[in-house]
Amino acid sequence: MSVTTTIQVNGKSHSVAAEPDTPLLYILRNDLKLKGARFGCGLGQCGACTVLVDGKPVQSCDFPLSAAAGKAVTTIEGLAPDGKLHPLQQAFIDEQAAQCGYCVTGIIMAAKALLDTHSRPSDAEIRTALKGNLCRCGTHQRILRAIHRAAKEIAK
């Protein structure tokens, strides 16, 4: 049964009518038209759909709408609310850290959660934080460099 659920996304409150077990990913993409979280597997295996819920990275394809009720959801679109890029986004551009780019938004969100708690993570810490994210194009090294760069930038 479709019910109306209220969720906070990027600081704004939205009411959506859908079945409570609908994965958050489809609510974000189809109801709120926030396409930055990508569908990669729908199985919680690849991280393309990563968003933050109360600051923690979750795989939104595997996270029911009902669980998001009353929590603060942040998507990639919420990182640059006024169009000014987040240091992570800027660092990905500076390091040219994308090929197809499909994995990148999920990775930036996972990195954001990391940098929010570890301001200068080691290489190993970054790699561990990205355990749940896959990149098929082989952009790994650039992505690691970009995250280090952003950490340095934020620390300034």
Partner 1 sequence: MSQTPAPRKLPGNLNTNRRLDRWLKINRDGTVTAFPGKVEIGQGILTALAQIVAEELDVALERIRLAPADTTYSPDEGMTSGSQSITDGGAALRYAAAEARDLLLQRAAARLGVSLEQLSVADGVVKARSGGSVTYWEIATDDLLAREATGDIAPKPASLHTIIGSPAPRRDIPAKVSGAPIYVHDLDLPGMLHGRVARPPSYDARLAGLDEAEVRALPGVVAVVRDGSFLGVIAGREEQAIRALTRLKRIARWEESTVLPETPDPRFLLREVTEDQVISEKQDAAAGARAAKTLDAEYTRPYIAHASIGPSCAVARFDPDRCTVWTHSQGIFPLRRDLAGVLGVEENCITAIHMDGAGCYGHNGADDAALDAVLLARAVPGRPVRVQWTREDEFNWEPYGPAMVVKLKAGLDTQGNVVNWTEDIWSNSHSTRPNGLGGVNLLAAWHLARPHPPSPPRNPPLPGGGSHRNAIPIYEFPNERVTNRLVKRMPVRVSALRALGATANVFAIESFMDELAAAAGADPVEFRLRHLKDARARAVIETVAAKAGWRKGEKGDGARGRGIGFARYKNGACYVAVIVEIEAGNELSVRRAWAAIDAGLVINPDGIINQTEGGIIQTVSWALKEAVRYDRSRILTSNWDDYPILTFEESPQVEVTIVNRPELPPLGAGEGTQGPTAAAIANAIHNALGVRLRDMPFTRDRVLAALA
Residues near ligand FES (CB under 6 A): 39-42, 44-49, 59, 61-62, 98-104, 135-137, 139
Q: How far apart are CA 79 and CA 146, in angstroms?
A: 16
Strands 72-74 and 3-9: parallel
Burial-class residue 105 by CB neighbours within 10 Å (0-12, 13-18, 19+): buried
Task: Choose from partner 1, ligand FES, none: what does 121 bind? Cβ within 5-8 Å by kind.
Answer: none
Least Cβ distance, residue 80 to partner 1 (angstroms)? 6
Partner whose footprint covers residue 120, from partner 1, ligand FES, none (CB < 5 to 8 Å by kind): none
- What is the bridge-based pairing of β-strands 3-9 and 12-18? antiparallel
Q: Kindly state the number of chain residues that form the binding site for partner 1, as judged by CB under 8 A.
A: 57
Q: Which does 74 bind (CB under 5 to 8 A by kind): partner 1, ligand FES, none?
A: none
What sign results for the dihedral spanned by CA atoms 146, 55, 53, 87?
negative
Residue 26 interacting with partner 1 (CB under 8 A): yes
* Residue 32 or 72 having the CB closest to partner 1: 32
4 touching partner 1, by CB under 8 A? no
Give the residue from 41, 13, 80 showing the smallest Cα distance to 23.
Answer: 41
Q: Name the DSSP class of 86.
A: P
Within 27-46, the residues that bind partner 1 by CB under 8 A are 29-30, 33-43, 45-46
Question: Cβ neighbours of residue 2 under 8 Å, at least 6 residues apart?
Answer: 17, 18, 19
- State the residues that interact with partner 1 by CB under 8 A: 2, 18-19, 22-23, 26, 29-30, 33-43, 45-46, 48, 75-77, 80, 85, 89, 92-93, 96, 98-105, 108, 126-128, 130-131, 133-144
